[in-house]
A = this chain, B = another copy of it.
Amino acid sequence: MSYRGGVADTPAQPRRPRRSPGAGERQRDPERTKARILDAAKAEFGAKGFAAARISDIADRAGVNKQLISYYFGGKEGLYTELADRWRETSAAMARPEAPLDAVVAGFVMSTVHDWDWARLMAWVNMSGSAEQTPASEAEAQFMRAQVTELKNRQAAGEIPADLDPGCLLLALFAAASATVTLPRIAELISGADPQSATFTSRYAEQLALLVRHLQHPA
């Protein structure tokens, strides 16, 4: 038995066997091609992680010659960092300032439904990234600090128990909200349902929100 990368690949596009020009459709369209490669890469990297992902698989999924990955992104590593960078930007932009905390957490959980691959990619980046390796962009640190002060404000406003350290709380909430993605097997074992499914995810999101509310207003 050869090792197959983790978690079933996302069904994804029906994977047309060969792209036929299609009336009115350009047959050379660098933007489209790049987008396709990025999508495919997101799916593959998300499913298997960097090391286990194969650029030929990515190319196949994108319906494109694998050389284009070098051509556009400078190889596997370039493609990966491109995606990682985009994720950082996205997550930095994701800072929703003044929603209730339980809603923020639940929303984060739910976001994994719409973009499972993206969430998985985040998880891989976090799991395998160390400080020396990828120096954690200043923007990223900024974002985290902002989130911490966010929590601190909520704490000052009495939304959160005063004796909890905002940093640790943030970390815990982050981890809990990522649970379906980072611990899919346990999630499945516990719930009996597919951790990717909307039904389970929304239930879990709701429960987490409830938990947060319990922290806020005494039970």
Q: What's the least CB distance linking A212 to chain B, in Å?
A: 10
> In chain B, what residue has the closest Cβ to A50?
B3
Find residues 179-219 in chain A having any chain B CB closer than 8 Å to their own CB: 179-180, 182-191, 203-204, 207-208, 210-211, 214-215, 218-219
Q: A144-B190, A190-B148 are in contact. Are A128 and B48 (CB under 8 A)?
A: yes
Please report whether the interface of chain A is mostly helix, strand, loop or mixed according to DSSP: helix
Contact B172 A207 (CB under 8 A): yes
Contact B144 A207 (CB under 8 A): no
Contact with B along A141-167 (1 / 0, CB 8 A): 100100010000000000001011101
Find residues 22-79 in chain A having any chain B CB closer than 8 Å to their own CB: 48-52, 77
CA distance A84 to B4 in the complex (A): 15
Q: A189-B140, A211-B215 are in contact. Are A127 and B171 (CB under 8 A)?
A: no
Number of copies: 2
> CB-CB < 8 A to A172: which residues of B?
176, 179, 207-208, 211
Stretch at the interface among A12-20, A92-100, A129-137: A129-137
> CB-CB < 8 A to A178: which residues of B?
175, 182-183
